[in-house]
Amino acid sequence: MFSLEGITKSIDRWLNSTFHPTLALLLEFLIVGLCAITLFAVLGLVLVLMERKVSAYMQIRRGPNRVGPGGSLQTVADTIKLTMKEGLTPDGADKFLFNLAPFVVLTVAMLVLAPIAFAKGFQLWDINIGVLYISAVSSVSIIGILMAGWASNNKYSLLGAMRSGAQIVSYELSAGLSIISMVVLTGSLQISDIIASQQNGWWIFKGHIPAIIAFVIFIIAVTAETNRAPFDLAEAESELTAGFHTEYSGMKFALFFLAEYVNIFIVCAIGATLFFGGWMPLHIGNWTGFNHIMDYIPSSIWFLGKTFFLIFLIMWFRWTFPRLRIDQLLNLEWKYLFPISMFNLLLITVMAIMGWHF
């Protein structure tokens, strides 16, 4: 199978043979940090353009088509515009917290990126509690959102932040239970073990109907956690102007905007890893010939293909369903998704103990 593992190992060997081990380690940290920042910038450009093109397709229009070939440089022009905008701070705002909030949200997104396996042997940190780490660290982003809403000294920002807090805390339960369901099936919290357990078939197929139910609940819950339509009550333009980032402009607004799209990529990458095998090709039991052909497709292509399919699914939701009211949003979680998730977890536990999965 083709992989990026050889590239990372050759860089590691060259650095350790050229520099002192401590300096080589520091240089590796620097390279990883620069790669992460570059990935964030590229993801922001690609996903915003994808959002616009998908929405245009859903509404039977062309979308961006003036700047660059087929409008491909429109997001680059928007980025240049945002960097040139003046960053304003309201007079009554808590300046320290107001300026800190965007960096908190973006830093959390960068930390969550660490355990995700982008390809075979291409992973920043294969920690043995990878799934727990992702669930725990991603929860910290709500602090940045509440900080932004409160520090802005604006009633619309505060309302948006409080809505976002209630929404994220509620839907984290269902998302967490869906993740635990897959952990029960694999018997490990480590990302590499979860991917390896799908070598003879992805869990979305091997786990029967309970795995499909867990996936549906997961994709609904993470859509709400990332404040995406139809769960975008925290940024409801018709009610709250722009929600918790109403008072932000320039690069500070761009950081919030970037963090939203990076978080979409991260939750879809987690979904692709848990339910669709991550970078693992499509293998079917003992079909040796078919499995061998699938191995010729690079693992990075498998991972990105699955992840961007889930991103397209989340973008599809935005142009299909109307926005819910706040009471409907919370009722959906506490009256439906949470009880179904609990029952489904119990069902998957029994299935794992009895060995009823493929």
- Provide the token pair at 216: 């549906």
Residue corresponding to tokens 């040139």: 84
Backbone angles phi, psi at 93, to 5 degrees: -80, 155
60: alpha, beta or left, given left = phi > 0 and alpha = psi -120 to 50? left
Report pLDDT for 239: 59
Report pLDDT for 3: 57
Binned average pLDDT, 10 residues per bin, the chain of 358 residues: 68 85 88 87 90 90 88 88 83 87 90 89 85 90 89 86 85 92 90 89 87 94 87 68 79 86 92 91 80 85 93 90 85 92 92 78
127-to-27, 77, 103, 111, 311 alpha-carbon distances in Å: 21, 39, 25, 13, 25
